[in-house]
Chains A and B, each alone.
Chain A
Amino acid sequence: MALRPKNISLFERLRENSQLEFEKMKEAGIKVVGLYCIFAPKELVRASGAIPVGLCGKNQSPLSDAETVLPVNLCPLIKSSFGYAITDTCDYFGFSDFLIGETTCDGKKKMFELLKRIKPLFLMHLPPTSDGDRSLNYWVEEIVRLKDFLETQTGTKITEKELKHQIKLHNNKRILLKEIVSLCTEYPVPISGLDMMLVMECKGFSAELEDYVNALQELAHELKVIKRKGRSVCSPEAPRILLTGCPIGKGSEKVLRLIEECGGIVTCQENCTGIKSFDRLVDEDGDPYRSIASRYLKIPCSCMTPNQGRIDLLGRLVEDFKIQGVVDLTWHCCHTYNVESYLIKEFLEKEYQIPLLHIETDYSLTDTGQLKTRIEAFLEMLY
């Protein structure tokens, strides 16, 4: 892909400078909170004066160390996260004063039992279903419990004013991200899926929210210019692909990379790295804790049963992005996404006549050849 927006460099720089920024924060006595999942409310963390950081779990390298304690039949994301922690090879883990975990899936839930031996961990209890007032009330209590924990850890009282301010800032970030992805709904497509992943992933390790938002603004402006000029990162014929399923990031982007190397264009990423994490805003009026709880509980993660929200979101996205094919990525042994794939395939075929390619893989590159063949055959079908 010849065309590359030059402002991508802003995000590359953010990533490169990120560690330095966190070091500065630490020196200034600011608390750093390690996060593993998008269910952790960042506006609440920021309102306590602490800085949230998304922790590493996207690399193959610490897996073998993790497997000395964890079962082999566990998803690579959990093994990677845990491996980084026990080998002390993730700087962000080192920076973190404490961690926030969630009872999303069995694997994470049980892994956190071991992780909390290494570092203080606050475990948020998710209800098994997102429907109904009872679940919401349960989750509101968890958010308030987290508030109390953050206040104790940071020694800062979270004021309603500051929380509302943070909600606004985080909503602005979400609006900008939505604006950027909406530039990819049709040809010309001004940014590749791979670059878009970098842009989206950067939100997890930008110490200063403002720097990230500024970079987004610059990028949005540039992409609009590119689009106005009719320039595109792909040909008009390139099949438009939606990538859904388990989260990806630098180090675990192999499926996304292969789709684009094989001539497809990933215009939409529905996963936790992508749209799922910024699709909904927090209501800026009303009780901020309830508004936060309500927004986060609606994240359509496969850990919820039933998970109609994901079906609804996918239906909307395949329409908005004029999607021709869906690739559903399941990390090996992630039961919830793996089982749900059947229901997603059935829905897309029935309602939209859109084919779904289900890929179950791990972080290793041993199956690259085989994946390439399957992806090529899938794209071939879409031309």
Chain B
Amino acid sequence: MSEDYKSMWENLGLDLAAHDALLEVLGKGYQDIYLAQKNRPEGMGYFDFVMSEIHGLRIKELMDEKAAGRKVIGSFCVFVPEEIVRATDATLVGLCTGADFAMEEVERLLPRNTCSLIKSAFGFNLAKVCPYMECSDMIVGENTCDGKKKSYEILNDLVPNLYVMDLPQVKSAEGKALLKAEYLRFKEAVEKLTGITIDADRLKKGTKMVNNKRKAIHRLSNLRKANPAPISGLDALLANQVFFYDDPVRFTDSVNKVCDELEARIEKKEGVVPKATPRILISGCPMAVPNWKLPWIIETAGAVIVGEESCVGERGTRNLTDDSGNTLDELMEAVVDRYFKVDCAIFTPNPDRLDHIVEMVEKYQADGVIHYGLQFCQPYLMEAMPVEKALEAKNIPTLRIDTDYSMEDVGQLRTRVEAFIELIK
């Protein structure tokens, strides 16, 4: 990468040596996992470029936006309403949480048996290797699970600009009122940060922008129903991951371009894999860049992933926000309605999630479900067994996997995944 970035990273306070090491690992992983795939849509070239510049050009763009007076807000979760952020011309970015880094230092602050995702966020911060975190004007934490909720108390001492949002745990009228009150409080905080007052026009514009991004992903998801599958699960996951980083308008265009290409493939009855390839639905915890371990194992074991029931996937993107309202109140209410539907396992009970998994199995003609739980993520691990039982009662083969970000269990996982694929063939 060019010297320009070096000075930018230095100015952001990154540890250059550690950051170089990270980029090297990331680059190699990308090469081995992504570029080694065959028969990829040409449009994925854009995403390859995004990934190669994920700490370079994209950060430079954000720095340019900051120089022009716009703000950058970092988030860890799909409950942070992007509509509100975009309404102030600010940018919402997902923060780095997909790889182990500086674990020794992290475990001085957090218990060893905390999930990889939380530990990763701390590792990137402590090692000073996440330019997104460093360039954020505000970092938003959200009280979802126990691990995150309590970790933010400690993160608060590490970063100068943490804003914590409360979330309900029950989908009751009181729960919704709590979410609404929190979104109004967040709106005020964003207005204060940006100096921009959100009116109906601004919120409508922000909502449309985010909806367009979601619609492009919906179009991509719909094309994955085709058999043979026109795109690998890894590539589709990448699009879902880049959703959190990229400029929304450019992202929308790029996903649509890939979709045009996929439509042509489907027309010609072509696929990325042969028609008989077993089709897998992944369900469970989110997979942030560069956490590609399990999809990589699945797709190199002879199956293709046709959907992700995940925050980085359909759970995060499936619902649009109603943008038909004309007053600020109506539009805010629509934002609350939309996010209150997210069927995260922190809610009790959470029956919509199971319904959605079944619906996805049917929609994408999946032959089996692989439930992906991050070790020590209690909400998803607790749902895993009931989900497995319910799916098997419907004769949907299910494999439950609990893992973390390390590569130590790759051999073991591969054996289990291969056996599962063999079974559903």
Contacts and interface: CB of A to CB of B under 8 A. Distances in A.
Interface in B177-211: 178, 181
A335 B114 contact: yes
A69 to B, nearest CB: 6
Contact of A113 (B346, B348, B375): B348
Nearest to B113: A333
Interface in B106-141: 109-111, 113-114
Contacts of B350: 113
A340 B153 contact: yes
B113 to A, nearest CB: 6
A109 B149 CA distance: 15
Interface string A309-351: 0000000000000000000001011011011111100000000
B424 to A, nearest CB: 24
18 contacts: A69-B385, A71-B402, A73-B113, A109-B348, A110-B383, A113-B348, A114-B386, A125-B174, A127-B166, A128-B167, A134-B181, A306-B153, A332-B113, A333-B376, A335-B147, A338-B111, A342-B109, A342-B110
The size bracket of the interface on B is 35 or more
A217 B378 CA distance: 43
Interface in A104-149: 105-107, 109-114, 123, 125, 127-129, 134, 138, 141
B2 interface: no
Contacts of B109: 342
Contact of A128 (B166, B376, B378): B166
Contact of B378 (A110, A134, A339, A340): A110
Interface of B: 109-111, 113-114, 143, 145-147, 149-154, 164, 166-170, 172, 174-175, 178, 181, 345-346, 348-350, 375-376, 378-379, 381-386, 402
Contacts of A105: 146, 378
Given A103-B169, A109-B348, A305-B150, A335 B143 contact: no
Contacts of A305: 143, 149-150, 152-153, 164
Given A113-B382, A340-B153, 12 more contacts: A73-B378, A110-B345, A110-B383, A113-B349, A138-B174, A138-B178, A303-B146, A305-B149, A335-B378, A339-B111, A341-B111, A342-B110
A74 interface: yes
A252 interface: no
Nearest to A134: B181
Interface residues of A, number: 40
Max chain B CB contacts within 10 Å: which of A107, A110, A113, A306? Answer: A110
A141 B174 CA distance: 9
Contacts of B375: 73
A302 interface: yes
A70 interface: yes
B391 to A, nearest CB: 16
Max chain B CB contacts within 10 Å: which of A114, A123, A129, A339? Answer: A339
A111 B385 CA distance: 12
Interface in A247-292: none
A125 B146 contact: no
A365 B170 CA distance: 37
Contact of B169 (A109, A129, A343): A109
Contacts of A138: 174, 178
Given A69-B385, A128-B149, A107 B378 contact: yes
Interface of A: 69-71, 73-74, 103, 105-107, 109-114, 123, 125, 127-129, 134, 138, 141, 302-303, 305-307, 330, 332-333, 335-336, 338-343, 360
Contacts of A134: 178, 181
Nearest to B379: A106
Contacts of A336: 146, 149-150
B150 A339 contact: yes
Contacts of A141: 174
B143 A106 contact: no
B385 A71 contact: yes
A70 B109 CA distance: 28
Given A111-B382, A335-B111, A339-B111, A73 B376 contact: yes
B169 A125 contact: yes
Contacts of A73: 113, 375-376, 378, 381, 402
Nearest to A341: B111
Nearest to A73: B376
B152 A112 contact: no
A332 B376 CA distance: 11
A111 B348 CA distance: 10
B152 A106 contact: no
A69 B153 CA distance: 32
A330 B113 CA distance: 12
B189 to A, nearest CB: 16
B150 A106 contact: no
Contact of A343 (B153, B166, B346, B381): B153
A125 B172 contact: yes
A368 to B, nearest CB: 21
B385 A339 contact: no
A340 B385 CA distance: 29
B170 A103 contact: yes
B379 A302 contact: no
Contacts of A106: 145-146, 346, 378-379, 382
A306 B156 CA distance: 11
B150 A340 contact: yes
Contacts of B166: 127-129
A71 B174 contact: no
A21 B219 CA distance: 65
Contacts of A330: 111
A107 B382 contact: yes
B217 to A, nearest CB: 28
Nearest to B112: A360
A333 B375 CA distance: 11
A70 B150 contact: no
B376 A335 contact: yes
Q: Which 10 A-B pairs have the closest CB atoms?
A: A110-B382, A339-B150, A335-B146, A338-B111, A71-B381, A106-B378, A128-B143, A109-B348, A335-B147, A106-B146
B178 A339 contact: no
A335 B150 contact: yes
B371 to A, nearest CB: 12
A72 to B, nearest CB: 9
Nearest to A304: B149
Contacts of B152: 305
B141 to A, nearest CB: 10
A113 B386 CA distance: 10
B149 A71 contact: no
Max chain A CB contacts within 10 Å: which of B147, B149, B174, B350? Answer: B149
A338 B143 CA distance: 17
